[in-house]
Structure 1
């Protein structure tokens, strides 16, 4: 169990970190706005009171430590997705990782953003309330592909470290 948890943390953190580097590159090279983790933290912080869907999360009352909460949630979700990958792909995948299972999980996880987080924060289903919805959708798919590449790289790194 400890090995599973350790692999989930390393693989999920690697995928999430690469996705964050990708966001920084997009911001610096093309001016694509970076994710606002404070607003994500606000959304997560309001969940215990039953507030799932907001017209505009920016208009909701702030919660304590929302920026930190947003970052923690971001990485915790990455670790959770890595755990799902390890369960779905099976124990042999960590010993001989391939990109395809990581990519499939990465693409499936786009749905959580499109059908829970984005409507929850006021952007509509799959960012449908945003004027650049198709651009956001494409960026989401690419970012989650980058996340998958990071999970795959994390698994390769763990395999090499244990060899």
Structure 2
């Protein structure tokens, strides 16, 4: 199987695992689900040249922004999966170890902390939210699930 195909499976697996974790937290502890509409709104405004917002919810609404946000979420997950597969190379797939992919998954949170969050108006690493450290820790846990899902995807593919 090509590294691109395996990376696609890994990225989908990781993103699904992350979403299942979020759903479990929502059901068990009433943790709110991600607002993919805000992300979709940001993506469309990003392509229109506006990267950073003071408050993305104050930006003009976009048709189908929730669907756009979900697609963006999965595309990013697949890109990360393919990037890891190519970077790790075929040798890693002979005996896929969890720790390297877990570290990679934790590092991917940097894009959210330093690009997406400021873009949405939440500040660097959620610094403009009421409980930034709670959000950061929850993000690292979610990215651990992403890594677990990617690793399981590698084992299956």
Q: Name the TM tier (shorter chain).
A: over 0.9
Aligned twin of 2:133: 134
Give the secondary structure class of the aligned counterpart of 1:51.
coil
Contact 1:85 1:101 in 2 (8 A): no
Higher relative CO (Cα under 8 Å, sequence separation at least 6) belongs to: 2
Cα drift, residue 28 of structure 1: 1.1
Cα drift, residue 129 of structure 1: 0.4
1:76-99 Cα shifts (integer Å, max 9, x gaps): 000111111112212222232110
Report matched runs for 1:1-163 at 5 Å: 3-158=2-157
Q: TM-score, normalised by structure 1?
A: 0.93
Q: TM-score, normalised by structure 2?
A: 0.96
* Structure 1 runs (4+) greater than 3 angstroms displaced: none
Structure 2 unaligned regions, length at least 5: none
d(CA) in 2 for partners of 1:48, 1:78: 19
1:25-52 Cα shifts (integer Å, max 9, x gaps): 1111111110011111111111111111
**Range that drifts further, 30-39 or 85-94:** 85-94
Structure 1 unaligned regions, length at least 5: 159-163
Contact 2:3 2:89 in 1 (8 A): no
Cα drift, residue 71 of structure 1: 0.8
d(CA) in 1 for partners of 2:8, 2:143: 17
Report the number of matched residues.
157
